[in-house]
A and B are shown apart, each in its own frame.
Chain A
């Protein structure tokens, strides 16, 4: 193992890790927004919104994220969407993971006992009040852990943007593998950084889960 080389190039990997972290955070935010909207659509009283929500989940979970990313980044300009690679990465991955988060959020809302809705409605709350004050606070607790699973997949999924040449961890590893022919060393560096990011994210989610349970 070539440790000299690893010591020489690791600052570039650290810098790239920040890009991966930025990508992960922005994608998580966009994914949660899409997921919340998607779940609201799927649980709507209007058949039209339910159809939109179902189509969103089915299409974006039924095709590869890589194709969605390419369609947005390379195909976008043809229909008037000009994005740089980083923006395309965040938007493409965010909308993709949003489809998975839609199902997670919907699952958590459905899992709240029906009696809760009935009781709230009997007490004279409107449908909206019931959702906002009774159902969502309980569902929020249930969804933290499964959303954590989505976020874990998302962090590893950010590697895809290497294919549209965003200089993040995987792209950096790929470039150095190409120039040094040391795939194992480059894998060690980038892999270790991914594992640190995933570990920290996992701890944060476990912490949030614990907090929510105590409350």
Chain B
């Protein structure tokens, strides 16, 4: 059985639609992981021990186990406790939480590295601790770690392929659908790989733009 790419054009609309879903899930999960990461970082640094310690355990488990396993837990586990989420939402939550934990590690180090004088000055000006964090310290910290967070987001794009396993019809599952009809795995996985690569290049381009913006703003 050789290669025959003549069947590809007929399924190109399915593949491209899958590509759009991949972009959608990546953007949603990236936003969740970004703001979730900030939230986790602030909790890990400033919350009382009753909240902080379970949070550390949660982070530890999320960093020590595979994403695929976490997706199974979230998708099937929520059903077990009576919450029946669509696969897309479960996928966004799984990917988002997983990368929020990694982002949180980055943001924590950055918050600690922000000059102490910033907090002191903000407090002297009459801001509360919460306000000082929200308006002065955290924005500076986040700005410092945008490049490594960007790397995490690119990893997120590639890991979004995993949600095909819980039945989100993104790029990988769309390729599988076409393969199911044509029995041509090599052709369609190759096409999917090309689409992923293009999305990846686009994302790197956007991230570089953002990084340059931030560098200029300094």
- Inter-chain contact B189/A156, CB cutoff 8 Å: no
Question: In this complex, what residue of A is CB-closest to B73?
Answer: A187
Q: Is the Cβ of B158 less than 8 Å from the Cβ of A198?
A: no
Contacts of A162 in B (CB 8 A): 68
Q: How far is the CA of A79 from the CA of B184 in the complex (A)?
A: 11
Residue from B61, B64, B66, B190 with most neighbouring chain A CB atoms (10 Å): B66
B residues in contact with A145, CB < 8 Å: none
User: Is B1 positioned at the interface, with any CB of A under 8 Å from its CB?
Assistant: yes
Contact: A74 with B161, CB < 8 Å?
no
Q: Are A63 and B197 in contact, with the CB atoms below 8 A? A: yes
Residues of B within 8 A of A190 (CB): 65, 69
Q: What 1/0 flags go to A71-86 for Cβ under 8 Å of B?
A: 1001111110000000
A163 closest partner in B (C-beta) = B165
Q: Please state if B190 and A71 are interface contacts (CB–CB under 8 Å).
A: yes
In the complex, which residues 137-172 of chain B have their Cβ closer than 8 Å to any Cβ of chain A? 158-162, 164-165, 172
Q: Chain B residues near A194 (CB, 8 Å)?
A: 64-66, 69
- Is B2 positioned at the interface, with any CB of A under 8 Å from its CB? yes
Please report the total number of B residues contacting A with Cβ < 8 Å. 40
* Residues in B whose Cβ lies below 8 Å from that of A160: 68, 162
Q: Which among B61, B66, B77 is the interface contact of A184 at CB below 8 angstroms?
A: B77
B201 in the interface, Cβ–Cβ < 8 Å?
yes
B72 cross-chain contacts in A, Cβ below 8 A: 170, 173-174, 177, 183, 187
Q: Output the least CB separation between A203 and chain B (Å).
A: 14
Q: Does B6 contact A (CB under 8 A)?
A: no
A70 and B158 contact, Cβ closer than 8 Å, known pairs A79-B3, A173-B69, A191-B61: no
Q: Is A59 an interface residue (CB 8 A)?
A: yes
Within 8 A of A (CB), among B70-114: 70, 72-73, 76-77, 79-80
**Complex: chain A residue closest to B22, CB-CB:** A64
Residues in chain A near residue B61, CB distance under 8 A: 191, 195
Chain B residue numbers with a CB within 8 Å of A173 are 69, 72
**Docked complex Cα distance between A62 and B179 (Å):** 22
Interface residue B196 (Cβ < 8 Å from any Cβ of A): yes
- State A43–B161 Cα separation when bound (angstroms): 32
Contacting residues, chain B, for A66 (C-beta < 8 A): 161-162, 164, 172
Distance in Å: Cβ of A144 to nearest Cβ of chain B: 20
Known contacts A63-B158, A66-B161, A170-B66, A184 near B197 by CB under 8 Å = no
Chain A 181-214, CB within 8 Å of chain B: the 1/0 string? 1111001001100110011000000000000000
B-contact bits for A122-163, CB 8 A (1 contact / 0 none):
000000000000000000000000000000000011111011
Q: Which of B73, B158, B172 contacts A183 (CB 8 A)?
A: B73
Residue of A nearest to B76 (CB): A183
| Nearest CB in chain B to that of A59: its residue | B197
CA distance A159 to B77 in the complex (A): 18
* Max chain B Cβ within 10 angstroms of own Cβ: one of A62, A74, A75, A191: A62
- A26 located at the interface, meaning its Cβ lies under 8 Å from any Cβ of chain B in the complex: no
Q: A7 at interface (Cβ–Cβ under 8 A)?
A: no
Interchain CB contact under 8 A, A195 and B64: yes
By a CB distance below 8 angstroms, the chain A residues around B67 are 156, 159
Q: CB-nearest residue of chain B relative to A198?
A: B64
A46 interface contact, C-beta 8 A: no
CB closest chain-A residue, reference B77: A183
What is the CA–CA distance of A173 and B71 in the complex, to the nearest angstrom? 12
Q: Of residues A64, A77, A163, A198, which shows the largest number of chain B Cβ atoms within 10 Å of its Cβ?
A: A64
| Bound Cα distance from A71 to B1, whole angstroms | 15
Whether B54 sits at the interface, judged by CB under 8 Å, is: no
Q: Max chain A CB contacts within 10 Å: which of B65, B76, B187, B200?
A: B65
Q: Which residue of B lies closest to A73 (CB)?
A: B185
18 chain-A/chain-B pairs, Cβ below 8 angstroms: A59-B197, A63-B197, A64-B158, A64-B172, A64-B193, A64-B196, A65-B158, A67-B196, A70-B172, A70-B189, A74-B186, A77-B1, A170-B66, A187-B69, A187-B70, A191-B65, A195-B61, A199-B64
